[in-house]
């Protein structure tokens, strides 16, 4: 017998959407309001039951609940991040206290503008289960959910990094991982680490920061953040400047000595951040910007040897002061760490109108690398996950559809640029043609060289910033770390690099390690960087390979020399 449902008996198709689970409702629902069920929603009487062929017989394949339970369990770990695997995060808000509209048309920089944010702090080299108090740089990744889309500021707690040539990054990170033969990490064998550093002297400033007092912050609340990379700010008139972003802790900065760090639990920083927020002690930071005009950028190189595209260089704040723009606070812990922190995906290519990338080569490589790793780790639709989804006051659409876990697949709208049912467009806010340097010339095979100006900022750190206590702790830390390096030649080379910073530093390290270092780098050849300070021309080229003739003729080490900008 057939059954014909009447209109009153049939469900209202217009309300089908109400049947979908709501993420926010599910996130905040207490256990008492939930019903145990299989993944298809079917209620299960008890989670520990299984179906067997008799009281003492084998299991039945038809037991979907058990099979589904085990199958999900087998797959419930996604790949950990290649770098920044161990981290902590929380939610909060950012607000602009001092308008930046004269420099940027970004909506987020209008006076009084407040937007929700998510921040993930992390260590760089360690594995998922590594210690929070390891001597390692810290990640400081921020997601601003603006009304013009998500802006991700992927920063560190150090103003510089170990490299300025993008192809070095995977190789350097490999030295932070376990040795392929011994499976030992750097805590037991630091040979790979110091071998890399001693062959790439541009890393010396970051090495000093890492081995100095800032190398182990006392939790994430007591550290600053730095973009490190140079960006561009573009205003409504199409004028632009180079910019770096600084996050200054309102709590001040505190550090742990090696001995203090050894007494802390592996999740010390995670616990400190979580419990502070639970107590209502919401950590905050001031948000500031440091800017230079295109003309100033050229003069910085010509007169001071500072390259705005160089991740190992800093801009002196005495000459290029910080300008406060806003502040932000963390006032909400994650309800579910995996969903809201582990699945959070940050990328420096996630920009909004008024903020543009510069020609910084390491930044340029990260514009691709970060979203690519998210597609691998989380899936092609990673941006649809609630923690990553934009919160804009308009329905946005594109023609990126399908793929695994496509929660929002843009309905039945045309999946091409249709003239029958056209999509809307907003007028261009930034004239990209006018906001870049004057690039002209042949293709150049580029690798940077070591020059005297690379040691200026490290020397100032040793001689003018650190007090005697900080110098002594640095020497003790470096010597202790080098004691796990199995090759004395590597130590000799690294002390030679330190001697270019300060003979006093090198002499102290020689005494602490018992190894006599080289008198400097003028007599050394490096396998990773050209040595522009070598006395013999045969030692100048990295690994004995000739430099590009076009690159060598310009002699600007990748900096914006005079005439670069219109």
From the candidates 65, 84, 91, 224, give the one annotated as an active-site residue. 84
Residue 457 falls in which region: left (phi positive, over 0), alpha (psi -120 to 50) or beta: alpha
Enter the DSSP assignment of 424.
P
156 part of the active site: yes
What is d(CA 353, CA 106) in angstroms, rounded to the nearest whole number?
A: 6
What is d(CA 343, CA 386) in angstroms, rounded to the nearest whole number?
A: 9
> Is 121 in contact with 170 (CB distance < 8 Å)?
no
Angle between helices 168-176 and 191-199 (to 10 degrees): 150
Residues 6+ apart with CB under 8 A from 266: 129, 130, 131, 132
Binding residues for heme: 370
46 part of the active site: no
> Is 517 in contact with 491 (CB distance < 8 Å)?
yes
Find residue 116's DSSP bridge partners: 93
Binding residues: 370
Biggest CA–CA distance in the chain, Å, is 99
What is d(CA 527, CA 543) in angstroms, rounded to the nearest whole number?
A: 4
Phi, psi of 402 (to 5 degrees): 65, -160
Here the contacts of 192-195 (C-beta below 8 Å, separation 24 or greater) are: 193/481, 193/485, 194/481, 194/482, 194/485, 194/490, 194/491, 194/494, 195/485, 195/487, 195/490
Find residue 43's DSSP bridge partners: 37
What is d(CA 471, CA 479) in angstroms, rounded to the nearest whole number?
A: 12
Angle between helices 488-501 and 204-211 (to 10 degrees): 100
From the candidates 150, 156, 200, 381, give the one annotated as an active-site residue. 156
Closest by CA position to 266, among listed 132, 135, 89: 132
Strands (E), 426-499: 449-450
What is d(CA 485, CA 507) in angstroms, rounded to the nearest whole number?
A: 19
- The DSSP string of 241-291 is EEEEEEEEETT---B--HHHHTTS-TTHHHHHHHHHHHTT---EEEEEEEE
What is d(CA 447, CA 443) in angstroms, rounded to the nearest whole number?
A: 13
Phi, psi of 488 (to 5 degrees): -65, -30
Residues 6+ apart with CB under 8 A from 360: 229, 230, 308, 309, 310, 311
Phi, psi of 222 (to 5 degrees): -110, 45
Closest by CA position to 49, among listed 28, 70, 63: 63
User: Cα angle vertex 392, ends 386, 393, to 5°?
Assistant: 130
Known catalytic residues are 84, 156
């Amino acid at each position: 017998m057939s059954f014909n449902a009447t209109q009153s008996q049939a469900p209202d198709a217009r309300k089908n959407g109400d049947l979908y689970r709501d993420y926010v409702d599910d996130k905040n629902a207490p256990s008492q309001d939930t019903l145990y069920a299989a993944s298809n929603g079917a209620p299960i009487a008890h989670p520990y039951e299984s179906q067997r062929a008799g009281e003492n017989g084998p299991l039945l394949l038809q037991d979907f609940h058990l099979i589904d339970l085990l199958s999900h369990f087998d797959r419930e770990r996604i790949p950990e991040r290649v770098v920044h695997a161990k981290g902590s995060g929380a939610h909060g808000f950012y607000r602009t206290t001092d308008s930046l509209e004269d420099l940027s048309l970004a909506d987020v920089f209008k006076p009084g503008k407040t937007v929700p944010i998510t921040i993930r702090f992390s260590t760089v080299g360690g594995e998922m289960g590594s210690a929070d108090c390891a001597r390692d740089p810290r990640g400081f990744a921020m997601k601003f959910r603006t009304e013009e889309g998500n802006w991700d500021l992927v920063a560190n707690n150090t103003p510089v990094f170990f490299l300025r040539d993008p192809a070095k990054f995977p190789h350097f990170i490999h030295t932070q991982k376990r040795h392929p033969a011994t499976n030992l990490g750097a805590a037991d064998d630091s040979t790979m680490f110091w071998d890399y550093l001693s062959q790439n002297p541009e890393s010396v400033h970051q090495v000093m920061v890492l081995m100095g007092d800032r190398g182990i912050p006392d939790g994430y609340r007591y550290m600053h953040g730095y973009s490190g990379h140079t960006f561009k700010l573009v205003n409504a008139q199409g004028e632009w400047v180079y910019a770096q972003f600084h996050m200054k802790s309102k709590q001040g900065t505190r550090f742990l000595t090696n001995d203090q760090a050894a007494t802390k639990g592996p999740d010390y920083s995670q616990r400190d951040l979580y419990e502070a927020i639970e107590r209502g002690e919401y950590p905050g930071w001031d948000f500031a910007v440091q800017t230079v005009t295109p003309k100033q950028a050229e003069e910085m190189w010509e007169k001071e040897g500072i390259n705005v595209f160089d991740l190992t260089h800093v801009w002196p704040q005495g000459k290029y002061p910080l300008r406060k723009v806003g502040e932000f606070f963390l006032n909400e812990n994650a309800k579910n760490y995996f969903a809201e922190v582990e699945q959070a995906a940050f990328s420096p290519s996630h920009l909004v109108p008024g903020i543009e990338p510069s020609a910084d080569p390491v930044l340029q490589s990260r514009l691709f690398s970060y979203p690519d790793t998210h597609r691998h780790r989380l899936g092609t639709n990673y941006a649809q996950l609630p923690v990553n989804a934009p919160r804009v006051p308009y329905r946005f659409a594109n023609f990126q559809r399908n793929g695994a876990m496509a929660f929002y697949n843009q309905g039945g709208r045309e999946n091409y640029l249709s003239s029958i049912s056209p999509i809307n467009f907003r007028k261009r806010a930034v004239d990209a043609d006018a906001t870049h340097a004057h690039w002209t010339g042949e293709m150049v095979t580029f690798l940077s060289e070591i020059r005297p100006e690379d040691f200026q900022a490290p020397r100032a750190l040793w001689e003018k910033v650190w007090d005697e206590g900080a110098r002594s702790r640095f020497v003790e830390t470096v010597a202790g770390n080098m004691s796990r390096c199995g090759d004395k030649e590597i130590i000799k080379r690294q002390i030679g690099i330190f001697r270019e910073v300060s003979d006093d530093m090198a002499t102290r390290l020689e005494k602490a390690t018992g190894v006599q270092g080289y008198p400097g780098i003028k007599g050394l050849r490096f396998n990773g960087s050209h040595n522009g300070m070598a006395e013999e021309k045969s030692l100048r080229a990295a690994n004995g390979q000739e430099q590009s003739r076009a690159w060598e003729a310009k002699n600007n080490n990748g900096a914006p020399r005079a005439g670069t900008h219109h």
